[in-house]
Structure 1
Amino acid sequence: MVGYKLIALDLDGTTLNEEGVLSDENIHWIQKADEAGVIVIIATGRGRQTAQPHLDRLKLQHPFIVMNGSEVWRQPGELLDRQFVPRTCMNQCIDLARQYGVMYFGYELSRGLCCNFEPSSEEDNEMWMKFLFHSDELAKLDEIRGIMTDWSEVEVSSSSVKNIEITPKGISKALRLKEVCALLQISMDEVIAVGDGPNDIYMLQAAGLGIAVGNAMEEVKLAADITLPYTNGDHAVAKVIQQYVFQK
Structure 2
Amino acid sequence: LTTRKNMTEKRKKDIRLVVSDIDGTLIRRGEGFPKEVEQAVAELKKRGILFTFASGRLPYMITPFAESLGIEIPVCACNGTLLYRKDEILEKHPLCLLELRPLIEAALLREMTVLYSLNGTEYCMRENEAVRRKRAERGSYHPIRPVREEEWENLWADKVNISDEQGEISSLLEWEQPLEGSCEITHYGNQGLEIVRAGFGKAYGVRQICAGLGISMEQVLAIGDNENDNEMLTQAGIGAAVGNAETATKACADLTARKESGAGATEIIRRICLEENEK
TM-score, normalised relative to structure 2: 0.81
Partner of residue 12 from structure 1, selected from 17, 23, 30: 23
- For these two proteins, the number of residue pairs brought into alignment is 244
Distance in 2 (CA, whole Å) between partners of 1:227 and 1:194 is: 9
Matches within 5 A, 1:1-248: 1=9, 2=11, 3-73=14-84, 75-109=85-119, 112-116=121-125, 117-123=145-151, 126-138=155-167, 140-151=168-179, 152-158=181-187, 161-232=190-261, 235-248=263-276
- Mapped contact 2:96–2:155 kept (Cα < 8 A): no
Partner SS, residue 24 of structure 2: helix
- Mapped contact 1:145–1:164 kept (Cα < 8 A): no
Alpha-carbon deviation of 1:18? 3.9
Alpha-carbon deviation of 1:131? 0.3
Distance in 2 (CA, whole Å) between partners of 1:159 and 1:56 is: 28
CA gap of 1:132–1:63, structure 2 versus 1, over 3 A, is: same
- Mapped contact 1:17–1:23 kept (Cα < 8 A): no
- Letter matched to residue 99 of structure 1: L
Alpha-carbon deviation of 1:146? 4.0
Distance in 1 (CA, whole Å) between partners of 2:190 and 2:261 is: 17
Distance in 2 (CA, whole Å) between partners of 1:102 and 1:135 is: 5
Higher relative contact order (CA 8 A, sep 6+): 2
Partner SS, residue 114 of structure 1: strand
Percent same amino acid at aligned positions? 24
- Mapped contact 2:27–2:33 kept (Cα < 8 A): yes
CA-to-aligned-CA distance 1:134-184 (integer Å, 9 cap, x gap): 12333x212313431221432212355522111113120011111211221
CA-to-aligned-CA distance 1:10-69 (integer Å, 9 cap, x gap): 000111234242111111111221232111110000111112222222221111000101
Structure 1 unmatched ranges of 5 or more: none
TM-score, normalised relative to structure 1: 0.90
Backbone CA RMSD of aligned residues = 1.9
- Mapped contact 1:196–1:212 kept (Cα < 8 A): yes
